[in-house]
Structure 1
């Protein structure tokens, strides 16, 4: 479950140009590694994509968070 939370934080930070501290990034990256994307999470992500037209790229694997990642703020446009 912690990995799910981490990927939600990654998504929100990237989409809305939010800054995560170094400690937050390290914690969330550890959670992501300890709790990989599950089949249930993939299925939910796919349903969200079908309904909303986009998904969480940190769940689908289209994007990876690395320490020092610069959020794009794509949701602000």
Structure 2
């Protein structure tokens, strides 16, 4: 079990998140993309974000932003 104590600016409804639970992990990644700071976003595995992006139910403007960023990341690599 991988439990973390997330920062309050990302998660305010619970004290811990179990990142070994796929639902909680997806939810936490979504929270980071919605409310995270640059230092929070740097902790994400961008390959995992890319794999989950269409399942995170992000607002359309954020989904588009991340989709373009991840596409350009591959084009430059």
Calculate the TM-score normalised by the size of structure 2. Answer: 0.30
Highest RCO, 1 vs 2 (Cα 8 Å, sep ≥ 6): 1
**Larger Cα Rg: Structure 1 or Structure 2?**
2
User: By percentage of residues, which structure has more strand?
Assistant: 2
Calculate the TM-score normalised by the size of structure 1. Answer: 0.30
